[in-house]
Structure 1
Amino acid sequence: MLTGKRILLIIGGGIAAYKSLELIRRLAERGASVAPVLTRAAEEFVTPLSVSALAGVKVHRDLFDLTDEAEMGHIQLSRSADLIVVAPATADLMAKMAQGLAGDLASTLLLATDTPVLLAPAMNVRMWDHPATRRNRATLAGDGVAFVGPNEGDMACGEFGPGRMSEPMEIVAAIEAQFAHGPLSGKRVLVTSGPTHEPIDPVRYIANRSSGAQGTAVARALADLGAHVVFVTGPASVPPPAGVEVIAVQSAAEMAQAVQAALPVDAGVFAAAVADWRVAQASDRKLKKSKDGLPVLEFAENPDILATVAQMGAGRPRLVVGFAAETHDVEAHATAKRLRKGCDWIVANDVSPATGIMGGSENAVTLISDAGSEVWPRMSKDAVARQLAERIAAALNG
């Protein structure tokens, strides 16, 4: 899929820059040519010689290279590629892009281009969670910039959380998805997935049995049809698919915030099993047994993410798809939910223990819309996802 493709790879300054060497090698294996650009900070982590040796071409480092600039080389470089990839995309680079700054070669290339851009963010978890970075990410997404990652895990600084750069093969998959030609090419689709965890105290939480398998399968199927998928996932046991923009959250409140930041989108698929309630006053210390008796937990209602998006005015996705996991009177409850929430479709299923669907590999769903109820046969969750993705593509292109 990448044979003959020209990738302009901007390597930002961060410990994850070492992964860019493996990324260059993997892209070359697939027939892509890579034109590398190193920021000054990146040179503290990888050497121009090693990057040049793997790419087989000159490394670009300076904005004021007189040989290149005689013909406005930075303009040509930014527009001759089929795709610009920034890996790692630091908080500094994202901020420069969001504000339209152009003080060095990398930021100038990104401002001067009309080529699609894919970012692989990498930074400390606090930097990724900072309101400024969240604003910048939302601005860039609104400008049409694609993302892959970041992943959650241990940091070089010793902290844990979202901020790790995606692995090279995950970035390769995201690059391939950028060149995919399918009925959803050019479409941006939001998918929520997995459970949410609502804290009781620092070590306990309220959750449900959702594995995230169905939401993950839907995200993968949509990406396979060419969509740019923003995948907002709770702490699922199933890993997220490659080639999608992953936003990891824990609680319903965090998911609601991430969904708002991901808008606008062409379609939203809300497959997450969001907890309806949270503990109103979660303790900041572990609750202990006491002679005074059992602790009393007071609950508060979580934000209704599906209804909020479905009932938006301006900026509402063209298609809003909800999920209804029921244990009895499935069709009746799901039909009522669709009308109450204001969404276009509801994908309903029976998750009572006897079905084995919750956490299993198969699903049996009923698609409910204005046209009525359509019962699908029991099949694998991947097959359900493919069928749903094809329906979404038909709706968006109809």
Structure 2
Amino acid sequence: MFGPHKETPVLAANRLARWALMLSQYDYTIEYRNTSKHGNADALSRLPAGPDVYFDGKEDERDIVTVCLINTIDTQIKPTDQSALRKESTKDPVISEIIRYTREGWPNQVSDHLKDFKKLEHSLTTINGCLLYGNRVVIPASLQQEVLKILHEGHFGMQRMKQLARTAVYWLRIDTAIQDMCHRCTACAGHQNKPTKPANHPWMLPEKPWSRIHVDHAIDVMGHHWLVVKDAYSKYPCIHETNSTSTKTTTQLLEEDFSHSGYPHAIVSDNATTFSSQEFKAWCHERGIVHLTGAPYHPATNGAAERLVQTFKRFLKKSRKSPKEALQEFLMQYRRSPLASGYSPSELLNNRQIRTKTLLPSPAHEAQERQAREATKSQAKELQSMVHNVHRHYQVGTPCYALYTVGQDEPVSLDGFQQP
């Protein structure tokens, strides 16, 4: 079996592992002896003369657990019957037949219910009237439910049960039995983690600015209600302070924004009564606006507006100014700050950058200012020249209007003519 030029057979690997485990308890030296010098061991050579204190002291806790595995399982299943596992294995028709085949040898053809064990024949052994698969005890069908209850003690979950079972017990389709046990446990079902939320389908980016806007209400923030509007393309924000969240008030505030940028193609909102009312639907229909709503109880579907509300709330809490002044500062900075694309919301919506305090005078700004002054001067000169070059010639009989001032006695001059 062993040799410098021959590998260990795969079929004998498990049996060698068990022999190595048993021999690991002893301190021995291997010597080669010719077969002709071997002698048959008699009964007296195997009969112990008495307790070996030195040998018993060599055993540790791990060896005791390994040797007493079957007795431990017996105790857990039926504390009053230390040989329950052996008795039930003898009664079980399948296991008893497998034990017989393991001892006497497997035939070439077996019944259908033994074909799965036939594939494992080189890993099956019998110890103390019980069947072992590797270092795992094969549990009879009558004791499988009891073993499942022992494995499920502590309610540690399906994976821990499987890992624990793989160290001690085995039967066909044991993983499926463990899964069914965990699924039927009401305690585990009542305290299990919430299922992961499915990923939200992102909104498609519009092709043009102010094509789709997202609206929402921020309720009772710093003592006020706020209507939040955000363009999906440019991320341009519009926020209005309001004392009412009614449909009429909301549409009036939206009309203010639409007077600057026009009507969008679509409005996205949640399912609040303000936006789900017939009045709001009719208002959108009259203006050719498609009204879209997110999934009920899932505010993330209107994430653009929800995110703006969150950012605005955080800004108000940090600001030391009044809510109205803080609102103007927030809108100015938000519309001016560049996005990931490198352009600010004002540039994407209005195709120009707005001026703020953060924009210090630069050569480009100074050149624009000079051009503006020169353009103003040239326009003033052209206008003055046009006024001075206008000459009117009147003749007798030319129709004209006379200007009279009430309360004046002196004649009024009308383009060089004296009218009495």
Higher relative contact order (CA 8 A, sep 6+): 1
Structures share fold, TM-score greater than 0.5 = no
| Bigger helix fraction | 2
Structure-1-length-normalised TM-score:
0.19
